[in-house]
Amino acid sequence: MKIHIFGASSSGVTTLGNALSNQLNIPYFDSDEYYWEKSDPPFTVRRNPTDRTLMIKKDIEQAKDWILGGSIISWGDIFPNFDLIVFLWVPPHIRMERLKEREFSRYGNIIYTEPARIKQYNDFMAWAADYDNHTGIATRTLNAHENWLQQTTSPTLAIRGDFTTEQRIDLILNKLSEL
């Protein structure tokens, strides 16, 4: 079983992916682990796409079943067909509030006090908000995700709204039982 879960930043992809991984007892791979080099501050150095591809191919080829979380719509055709693609959408006001809380929890006051980190935080928040706003800041947008979903031949499940992780897992398990 190969499941792909994706959505906007702070839509709950990683939380759901880890919880579903535990429930199904299969590995969860997060695209951020491949996309970003380890750095300080984190998420500031992009990994070379060729290296990223080699890393993720190695990991998914070693597991019969797996879950992949994160947006991979621009990564090319490096993945096998998925048994299920799960798209998460959360209302923007909820998602952005979660994102603010996550960033503060992750980095603390430095995102409000250190000039370079203030800029990084503000740029990131503008990029994340653009997912729904489509002002041209981001290429990872709701439109891009919906277009990608329309083009895929894999079964899909769109979960739209503010659901608990448990509710989302139930929806996924029900969908899998129908396939």
Confidence of residue 41 (pLDDT cuts 50, 70, 90): confident
pLDDT digits (tens, 9 = 90+) for 99-150: 999 999 999 999 999 999 999 999 999 999 999 987 777 688 999 999 999 9
Considering the four listed CATH numbers 3.30.1130.10, 3.40.50.300, 3.30.870.10, 3.40.1440.10, the one that applies to the domain covering 2-91+141-178 is 3.40.50.300
Comparing C-alpha atoms, which of 169, 88, 151, 152 is closest to residue 177?
Answer: 169
Q: Give the per-residue pLDDT at 145.
A: 95
Confidence of residue 61 (pLDDT cuts 50, 70, 90): very high
Q: Give the per-residue pLDDT at 73.
A: 86
Confidence of residue 9 (pLDDT cuts 50, 70, 90): very high
Q: Give the per-residue pLDDT at 114.
A: 92
pLDDT over threshold 80, residue 29: yes
pLDDT over threshold 90, residue 44: no
Long-range contacts of 107-110 (CB under 8 A, 24+ apart): 107/41
Comparing C-alpha atoms, which of 152, 165, 164, 141 is closest to residue 2?
Answer: 152
Q: Give the per-residue pLDDT at 137.
A: 75
pLDDT over threshold 90, residue 76: no
Cβ distance 71 to 31 under 8 Å?
Answer: yes
Domain residue ranges in the chain:
2-91+141-178
pLDDT digits (tens, 9 = 90+) for 150-166: 999 999 999 999 999 99
Overall average pLDDT of the 88-97 stretch: 98
Share of the chain above pLDDT 70, in %: 99
Q: Give the per-residue pLDDT at 92.
A: 97
Neighbours of 141 (CB within 10 A): 19
Using alpha carbons, list the distances in angstroms from residue 76 to 5, 7, 95, 108: 17, 18, 27, 36
Angle at 133 between CA 160 and CA 162, to 5 degrees: 20
